[in-house]
Structure 1
Amino acid sequence: MAVVVFDPEKFRILHPAFSDEVKFPDDTLQFYFDLAVEFVGNTDADSFAPYDPDNKIYTRERLLDLVTCHLLTLSQQPNGQVGRIASATQGSVSTSFDLLKTNTFVGDWWAQTQCGAMYWTLTAKYRIGGRVYPGNNYHPWG
């Protein structure tokens, strides 16, 4: 059973916004990767995404990378602001945010960052549609 091992140097190359090792030390990056594991899982038993480096299947690694990037990006928003910027004014500095509603589609939360939007798009195949089981169908009410 393969698990993804976080590589901070590779992460910094893929995401130059987090390349400052003073602002984003390895421990901080590892913390957010570990948090990403809570979303995606990192074993065959707890993850919906496959990972088999021997057969060049890297889906879980890519998803963990995107979630780590998403969480780090959200953590850098000034003053803990939540939501996408809806409008901004420069004279007299004004910013308004499109706040997320608790009863809306969870995709809104992922859409706050580029990495989150990529994650949401890549995981659509795990959320959309049902499973088809060939053979006789059983229905409890006949």
Structure 2
Amino acid sequence: MAIAVFDYAAWVLRYPEFGAVSEQRAALFFAEAGLYLDNTDASPVQDVAMRLVLLNMATAHIAALSGALNADGKPSGLVGRVSSASEGSVSVTTELGHVPGSAAWFQQTSYGLSFWQATKGYRSAVYVAPQPYNFEPWAGSTWRR
């Protein structure tokens, strides 16, 4: 069974902004990323190296949503992307928009949007053609027309 294995050092090398996230916490984010992209042989992404890149993107997205980039390490509490902000008396407006599926959730961070765009080809139906039908009722029988 070929699965993508989380490599903390490689993940922090690619996403250095998450260097303060512990290896154990990052591994939990990676495990959660498996909810969004199957990390088994049944995955639509059969190339394990490509699957690891995608899972690392999703891991960064989950880490950012979980507040890993905030000074206090806590989530901001905002849901959706920031659509407007002002400075005087501080005002922030967020929105999820009218995007079908779970795109709005992924658009909350640049990591999630990268994941969403990179997996575009895997989110469509796959047609499996039926096997040819070779039934000839008169072949091999004594019945003739």
Task: Report if the CA contact (8 A) 2:96-2:104 is conserved.
Answer: no
Out of 9, 32, 56, the position equivalent to 1:65 is 56
Whole-angstrom CA distance in 2 between matches of 1:39 and 1:75: 16
Q: CA RMSD in A?
A: 2.3
List structure 1 segments (4+ residues) > 4 angstroms apart after TM superposition: 134-137
Q: Secondary structure at the match of 1:79?
A: coil
8 Å Cα contact 1:4/1:61 also seen in 2: yes
Which residue number corresponds to residue 12 of structure 2?
Answer: 12
- Structure 2 counterpart of 1:37: 34
- Runs of 5+ consecutive residues of structure 2 not aligned to the other structure: 134-145
Of 55, 66, 70, 1:75 maps to: 66
Q: Give the share of equivalent positions with the same residue, in percent.
A: 34
Higher Cα Rg, which structure? 2
What is the alpha-carbon distance in structure 1 between the residues aligned to residue 101 and residue 36 of structure 2?
A: 17
Match among 103, 122, 125 for residue 126 of structure 1: 122
**Offset at residue 10 of structure 1 (A):** 0.7
Determine if contact 1:87/1:96 at 8 Å carries over to the other structure: yes
What is the identity, as a one-letter code, of the residue corresponding to 2:8?
P
Q: Across the two proteins, how many residue pairs are aligned to each other?
A: 127
How far has the Cα of 1:74 moved from its partner? 0.9
Q: Which has the higher helix share?
A: 1
Q: Does the Cα contact within 8 Å between 2:32 and 2:59 map onto a contact in 1?
A: yes
Q: Please, which runs of 5 or more residues in structure 1 have no aligned partner? A: 53-57, 138-142
State TM-score, norm by structure 2. Answer: 0.76
- Per-residue CA deviation, residues 14-65 of structure 1 (Å, 9 max, x unaligned), is 0011012xxx1111000000101122122103x221134xxxxx22111111
Corresponding position: 1:116 with 2:112? yes
Distance 1:122 1:99 in 2: 20
2: distance between equivalents of 1:93 and 1:126?
41
Given the two structures, how large is their TM-score scaled by the length of structure 1?
A: 0.78
Task: Measure the CA separation in 2 of the matches of 1:35 and 1:130.
Answer: 26
Q: Cα gap change, 1:112/1:50 in structure 2, threshold over 3 Å: closer, same or farther?
A: same
Q: Is 1:85–1:98's contact at 8 Å kept on the other side of the alignment?
A: yes
